[in-house]
Amino acid sequence: MSDDLNIKPTDWQSPEMVRHTQMRNRREKRFKLFGLSAVILAASFLFLLLGKITLDAAPGFLQTSIEVDINFDKAVIGDPRQMGRDAFIENVRRTNMLRLVQASMDIYFSEVTDRRDRRRLLRLFSAGARDQLRNMLLADPMIAGTSKRVSLLASDDIDQVIKGHTDISLPELQRKVKNKELSWLQKFEDDDRVSLHFHSLFFTSGDSRDPELSGIWGAAVGSALTLFITLIIAFPVGVLSAIYLEEFAPKNRFTDFIEININNLAAVPSIVFGLLGLAVFLGTMGLPRSAPLVGGMTLALMTLPTIIIASRASIKAVPPSIRDAAMGLGASPMQVVFHHVLPLAFPGILTGTIIGMAQALGETAPLLMIGMVAFIVDIPASFTDAATALPVQIYLWADSPERAFVEKTSAAILVLLTFLIVMNALAIWLRQKFEQDW
Amino acid sequence: MQQSMTEFKNMTEQAVPKMSARDIHVRYGDNHAVKGISLDLHLNEITSLIGPSGCGKSTFLRCLNRMNDSVAGCKVTGQILLDNKNIYDQNIDVVQLRARVGMVFQKPNPFPKSIYDNVAYGPRIHGLAHNRTDLDEIVETSLERAGLWQEVKDRMDSPGTALSGGQQQRLCIARAIAVNPEVILMDEPCSALDPIATAKVETLMDELKSEYAIVIVTHSMQQAARISQKTAFFHLGELVEQGDTTQIFTAPRNEKTRDYITGRFG
Amino acid sequence: MSDPHILSAYDEELKELRSVVSRMGGMAIDQLLAAMQALREVNTDEAETVLKNDLLLDKLELHAEKTAIGVFARRAPVADDLREVVSSIKMTTMIERMGDYAKNISRRTLDIAECSPVVMPQTLDNMADVAHRMIEDIMDAYVHRNADVAVDVWERGETLDNMHNAAYRQILARMMEVPDHINAYTHYLMIAKNLERIGDQATSIAEQIYYAITGEILEDIRPVEEEQPATEAGF
C-alpha cells in the first residue's frame, strides 16, 4: 500500500534528522533562558526598589528621646489643689512648658550661662516636648510639685545625628548641628540618657512641620474616607453599567460609541480627571475644597472605566451554555443575570474593583488638582473636612527640605505599599473563596 | 399490512398535533436560515430533525420555545401553534412558554450548583412548590424519571458539575422535566457522550415520550433511526422530507434525503 | 447507484456484492442451459458436470452472504443501500435455488438415461427458453437498475405457469398412450415442474429488484393505490 505512494519510514538516526532535532532543542533551551532572565531582571528590580525603600524607611519608624529630670514646679504651672481643677488646666494650657525644660537644663548644664546657648540647649528638644509635658500634667495634675525623669522627644537634627545621618566630620560651618550641641549631646550620651525607640506617634498623628512630630494617620484616614466615597460610587455604577451593556443593551451604534468611550476613558491621564473634578465639583457644584467627598468622587470617575471593563470581561467569561440553560428553563433575563451570571462573574468583578481601588489609593495627580495637597495637621473626621491622602502626603514630605523627612517619606511609602499589598491579597483571597463556593 | 393498520390508528389518535409550525421563516440579517417550514409535532412521539450542518434544524428547534428571541438581528415570521395558540403572539409570555416547552442542550450544562438546586431551580422560579416538602418531592420524582435518582440520592448536595458527562445530561433532562413541560426540545443531546451514556439517555427519551412530545436535533442518523417515530430532513433551510422514521430510512421519497442518509452528500 | 458514497470503501463493498450476485446469475443461466443441453442429448457426462458445478454456485452464495453481513455490521446501510443489501442476500438464495433446480434437471437426466429412450416433450425446451430469458432479463434489470424490466419479468411468470400446465397435460397424455414409458415421463414431469420453479424464483427476484429500486413492494402496487393519499397525509 505504502509502497505505491513511495513513503519511507523516517530515519531518526540520519545526521540530517539528528542535527534538526538538536537545533530545535537548542532553540527551545535558548528561549527558556531568555524568559528566565527576563523574569530575574524584573524580580531583581523589584527587590532593589523594595529593599531600598525598606532600608530608607526603617529609621523612620524610630525616634530619639532624651531623658531629662523635670521638676514640675508649682511656681511655674500653678498648684492644682489651690486653684481648682479647671483653673489649673487653663493655666497649664497657657503656660510655656519650655520653662520647665529650661529649668532642668539650667541644673544639668550649670556651666552654660550664655542666653543664646541656653536657647540652643532648648533646641535640642522637639517642639513637641511642650505638648508632651502638658499632656502629662493634664493626665495627672497631682504630679505638680514633684520631680520626674521624663523622656523627651529630641529635635529632628539631633535625631539625625543619633541615627548617624549627619556627617559630623564636616567643618562646623557646613553643619546644622554645631560643636557645642554635639558636646551637650555627648554629655547626655555619657549619662546614658539618649535612647532610640519605636516611634508610635508616626502612626497616630497628622502632618507637622516638624519631622519628629509628623505622622501618617491623618493621611491614612483621608485616604480611607476618599476610598469609601470612591467605592460606594464606582462599584454600583460600574457593575450596573457593565451588566446593562453586556446583558441588556441593544447592539447598535450608540452602544458601540459608549463602549469605545469607556475604553478610551480608561486610558485618559488621571490628571484630566482632577481637572474635571476641579471644574465640576468645586467650580460648578461648589463643594468644599480638599474634602474626601470631592476626592472620592473624582477618583470614582477615574476608577469607573477600570471596574466596567473588568466586570464586562468577567460577565462575558460566563459560559453561554449557563445562560441558555437558565433561559431554557424559563428564567427571565433578570433572573438569568442575578441567579447565574453575576454569581459566576462576581470573583472577577471583585478583583477588578479591588484593583481599581488600589489604583485609586495610589493616585496623586487628581487629588492635587482638587486641593487635597494642603498642609493639614488635623485628622479629618468627616467627608467634608479638609484632608490629604497617603500618596499626596508622600509627595509633600518628599518635597520638604528637612533631612529627617527623607526617612519619613520612605516609611510612608512602605505603609502605602503595605496597604496596596493587603488590598491585592484581599482580592486574591476573595476570588478564591468565591470560586470555591461558586 | 399491519404497519399501515397501526399507522391508521396513530392518525386517528393524534389528529390534533401538540405543536405545529406554519410557514416559519428565520432571518439573521441577510441570512435566510429557515425557509418556510411547516411541521407538526405530536404527543407520545419523538420527532428527529436531521440534516447537514447549517441546514437550519437547530435554528428551527430554537424557534419552538423562542430561544432565538435573545439573538441579535434574528427575525422569525410565521406561526407556531402550541395547543392552537400562536407562541409568537404579543400576549404570550415567553417565560411561561419556556416552562411548557423545555430544552436540553448539546453540551451538558448543569448550573454550578448542587444537584438538588439544579433540579429545584425551575420549580423555584416558576413557584411550583409551596414548601420544602413539595420541592423535595418534585426534585425526587424528576430525578427518578430521569433515571438518575438511584445514582445521586446520597449526594444531593455535591455539585452537578462533578457528575460524569452522561449523568450531567440526565441531570439536565431532570431539570427540564421538573417544571412539567409538555414538549421537550433536545439539541444534539448525546453528541458529547460515550455510547453507554448515549444509550442511557436514549432509553430515557423512549420512556419520556409516553408523557411528552419530544423533538431532537441529531447528527447521528443511527440515533434518529433508533429512537424517533417521525423524521424530518432539513437541507439549506428547507424541509425536504418528513415522514415515518421507518419510511425515511428504508425508502426516502426525496433524492436529497436518500443522498444524505446513505452518506452520498458532497 | 448514481452518486458515489463519501466513503469509497463502502462503494467498493457494494460493488463487490453486486458483482457476486451478477456472477451467480450468469452461472445460473449457464447451469440451466447446460442442464437442458444434457437433457436434450441425454448426455450423462454433461449432466455430471452440471452437478459438479453447482458447488461453485453454493460457494459464491456463501461469499455474497459474508459480504452483505460485513456491510450491515460496518456500514449500517439505510434507504436504497439497505434495500439493496437485503434484496441481494435474498436474491443469492433464490439464484442458488435456481441452480439447485438445474441440478435436479441433470439428476433426472441421469435417471432418464437409464430408462428406455423416449422423445422429449417440445414444451420443455420452450419453457427452458422462457425461463432462460427471464433470468437473463432479470439480471439485466438488476445490473441496470431498471424497475420496468423487473415488472415485465414479473408479469411473465404467468406465461411460464401456463406453459407448465400445457406441458403437464401433454406429458400426461403421452403417459396414457404408452404406459411403458411412464417412468421416463415421470422424470420429464418433474423437470417441467423444476422449470416452472425456476420461473417462480425469477419472479421473486423481480420483486426483490423492484423493491430495491423503488422501495415499494411489487405485490402491493395495485391494491395499495387507493390508500396512497391517506398515507401521504399521515405526517
What are the boundaries of each domain within chain A?
64-197, 217-434
- At B228 the pLDDT is 92
Cα separation, B145 vs B129, in Å, equals 18
**Chain B CB contacts of A438 below 8 Å:** 112-113, 159
Mean pLDDT of A332-345: 89
Quickly state the pLDDT bin for A232 (edges 50, 70, 90). very high
Cα separation, C214 vs C224, in Å, equals 15
B258: distance to nearest CA of chain C, Å?
A: 6
Mean pLDDT of B37-57: 90
C7: distance to nearest CA of chain B, Å?
A: 7
Which of A307, A291, A299 has its CA nearest to residue A227? A299
pLDDT digits (tens, 9 = 90+) for B145-194: 888 888 888 988 888 888 888 889 889 989 998 988 899 999 988 888 88
- At C117 the pLDDT is 79
Cα separation, C228 vs C107, in Å, equals 48
pLDDT digits (tens, 9 = 90+) for A104-159: 888 888 888 888 888 888 888 888 888 888 888 888 888 888 888 888 888 888 88
What are the boundaries of each domain within chain B?
16-110+182-261
Q: Which of C81, C215, C235 lies at the smallest CB-CB distance from B230?
A: C235
- At A266 the pLDDT is 85
Q: How far is CA A133 from the centre of its chain?
A: 31
Which of B191, B76, B226, A171 has its CA nearest to residue C76? B226
Predicted confidence (pLDDT) at residue A240 exceeds the cutoff of 90: yes
Cα separation, A195 vs A365, in Å, equals 39
- At C121 the pLDDT is 84
ipTM score? 0.83
Cα separation, C39 vs C31, in Å, equals 12
**Which residue did the predictor score with more confidence, A433 or B11?**
A433
Q: In what order do the strands lie in the sheet with B213-217?
A: B101-104, B183-187, B213-217, B45-50, B230-235, B238-244
pLDDT digits (tens, 9 = 90+) for C128-158: 889 999 999 999 988 888 888 888 888 888 8
Class of A217-434 per CATH? mainly alpha
H or E element, residue A107: helix A98-108
Residues 6+ apart with CB under 8 A from A18: A12
- At A386 the pLDDT is 84
Cα separation, B39 vs B18, in Å, equals 11
First to last CA, chain B: 37
User: What are the grid coordinates assigned to A305, written together?
Assistant: 472605566
pLDDT digits (tens, 9 = 90+) for A86-99: 888 888 888 888 88
H or E element, residue C140: helix C122-144
Cα separation, C184 vs C164, in Å, equals 17
Predicted confidence (pLDDT) at residue C229 exceeds the cutoff of 80: no
Mean pLDDT of A243-258: 87
User: What are the grid coordinates assigned to A72, written together?
Assistant: 514640675
User: What are the grid coordinates assigned to A358, written together?
Assistant: 488600589
Mean pLDDT of C106-134: 87
Mean pLDDT of A225-251: 91
A150 by Cβ neighbours in 10 Å (0-12 / 13-18 / 19+) ranks as buried
Cβ–Cβ below 8 Å for A324 and B112: no
Quickly state the pLDDT bin for A227 (edges 50, 70, 90). very high
Mean pLDDT of B95-107: 88
- At B7 the pLDDT is 52
Cα separation, B183 vs A367, in Å, equals 62
Q: Name the H helices within chain B.
A: 2-13, 57-63, 94-100, 115-126, 132-145, 149-152, 165-177, 195-208, 221-227, 245-250, 255-261
- At A6 the pLDDT is 65
Percentage above 70 pLDDT, chain A: 97
For the entire predicted model, the pTM comes to 0.75
Q: What is the mean pLDDT of chain B?
A: 86
Cα distances (angstroms) measured from residue C40 to each of C33, C99, C117? 10, 18, 11
Give which of B96, B101, B109, B179 to mutate to test A binding, by max A Cβ within 10 Å.
B109
- At C215 the pLDDT is 86
Quickly state the pLDDT bin for C227 (edges 50, 70, 90). very low
**Chain B CB contacts of C78 below 8 Å:** 221, 225, 249-250, 261-262
Do residues B152 and B31 touch, judged by C-beta distance below 8 A? no
Contact call for A and B: 3+ CB–CB distances under 8 Å: yes
Cα separation, A221 vs A336, in Å, equals 40
Residues 6+ apart with CB under 8 A from B187: B58, B61, B62, B103, B104, B105, B106, B217
Other Cβ atoms less than 10 A from the Cβ of C58: the count is 12
- At A438 the pLDDT is 46
Other Cβ atoms less than 10 A from the Cβ of C165: the count is 13
- At B15 the pLDDT is 64
- At A91 the pLDDT is 83
Cα separation, B251 vs B265, in Å, equals 17
Q: How far is CA A379 from the centre of its chain?
A: 15
Question: For chain C, how big is the Rg over CA atoms in Å?
Answer: 20
Cβ–Cβ below 8 Å for A331 and B125: yes
Predicted confidence (pLDDT) at residue A401 exceeds the cutoff of 50: yes
**Chain C CB contacts of B250 below 8 Å:** 78-79, 82-83, 215
- At C2 the pLDDT is 57
Cβ–Cβ below 8 Å for B67 and A332: no
Cα separation, C191 vs C204, in Å, equals 20
Q: What is the mean pLDDT of chain A?
A: 86
pLDDT digits (tens, 9 = 90+) for B104-152: 988 888 988 899 999 999 998 888 888 889 899 999 999 988 888 888 8
pLDDT digits (tens, 9 = 90+) for B208-234: 888 889 999 998 888 999 999 999 999
Cα separation, A44 vs A47, in Å, equals 5
Cα distances (angstroms) measured from residue C220 to each of A37, C82, C210, C216, C226? 85, 20, 12, 8, 11
**Which residue did the predictor score with more confidence, A237 or A205?**
A237
Q: What is the mean pLDDT of chain C?
A: 85
Mean pLDDT of A5-34: 86
Do residues A411 and A202 touch, judged by C-beta distance below 8 A? yes
Cα distances (angstroms) measured from residue A422 to each of A173, A419, A429, B85? 47, 5, 10, 60
- At A7 the pLDDT is 66
- At C114 the pLDDT is 86
Quickly state the pLDDT bin for A242 (edges 50, 70, 90). very high
Domain boundaries B16-110+182-261, corresponding CATH code: 3.40.50.300
